[in-house]
């Protein structure tokens, strides 16, 4: 088990340390032999589920969906890691705003203060069922919209990484042939 290291925190920085699990999972997923479509599909599924405010159930839903659609579960896990304590307050505010704009059942309420991280748990418990429904609808719309560009970005990144790895592999073959002669 790794212990907390101040030197590692200084080397990576705070955001680098927080997003390290995402980076590790993404790099492992990008090496998949199944191809770019497989990885990009899993990543877009993970982005979709990460946008929906279902609290701690993002990962199980993403894994089950990726399994049944035969997409990369590792890439889906990496995308779900994007939803973390730093991104939740703005994400929940945005999902509530999108859901409220779509349902247009505004009762004159302001956006709930999700940015107040100290009271996030209390605030979530005090929301009415209609507010949770509004957030789920907004998260579903936001997830559907964001998963499309996420697919293409992930597809491009995996293709580029594969091209570099193939080029490095082809470069190493002549060198080994020269050394053996």
Domain definitions of the chain by residue range? 8-160
Q: Do the beta carbons of residue 86 and residue 117 sit within 8 Å?
A: no
Whole-number Å distance between alpha carbons of 96 and 119 = 17
Q: Is the pLDDT of residue 181 over 50?
A: no
- Give SS3 for 72: coil
pTM here? 0.70
Average model confidence (pLDDT) for the chain? 77
Provide the pLDDT confidence category of residue 60 given band limits of 50, 70 and 90. very high
Q: Is the pLDDT of residue 95 over 80?
A: yes
Q: Do the beta carbons of residue 26 and residue 78 sit within 8 Å?
A: yes
Q: How far is CA 63 from CA 35, 69, 178, in A?
A: 18, 10, 47
Mean pLDDT of 26-41: 84
Q: Do the beta carbons of residue 39 and residue 158 sit within 8 Å?
A: yes
102-158, pLDDT tens digit by residue? 887 655 456 665 555 565 566 666 677 777 788 889 899 999 999 999 999 999 988
What local confidence, expressed as pLDDT, does residue 117 receive?
52
Provide the pLDDT confidence category of residue 7 given band limits of 50, 70 and 90. low
Cβ neighbours around 66 below 10 Å, total:
25
Q: Is the pLDDT of residue 57 over 90?
A: no
Q: Is the pLDDT of residue 86 over 70?
A: no
**41 vs 90, residue with greater confidence:** 41
């Amino acid at each position: 088990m790794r212990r907390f290291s101040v030197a590692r925190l200084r080397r990576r920085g705070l955001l680098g340390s927080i997003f390290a699990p995402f980076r590790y999972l993404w790099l492992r997923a990008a090496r998949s032999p199944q191809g770019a479509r497989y990885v990009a599909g899993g990543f877009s599924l993970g982005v979709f589920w990460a946008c929906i405010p279902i609290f701690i159930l993002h990962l199980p839903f993403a894994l089950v969906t990726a399994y049944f659609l035969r997409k990369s579960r590792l890439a889906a896990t990496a995308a779900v890691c994007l939803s973390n304590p730093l991104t939740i307050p703005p994400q929940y505010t945005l999902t509530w705003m999108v859901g409220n704009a779509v349902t247009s059942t505004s009762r004159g309420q302001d956006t709930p203060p999700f940015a107040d991280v100290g009271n996030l748990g209390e605030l979530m418990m005090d929301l009415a069922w209609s507010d949770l429904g509004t957030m789920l609808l907004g998260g579903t719309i936001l997830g559907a919209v964001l998963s499309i560009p996420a697919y293409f970005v992930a597809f491009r990144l995996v293709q580029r990484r594969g091209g570099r790895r193939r080029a490095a592999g082809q470069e190493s073959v002549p060198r080994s042939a020269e050394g053996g002669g």
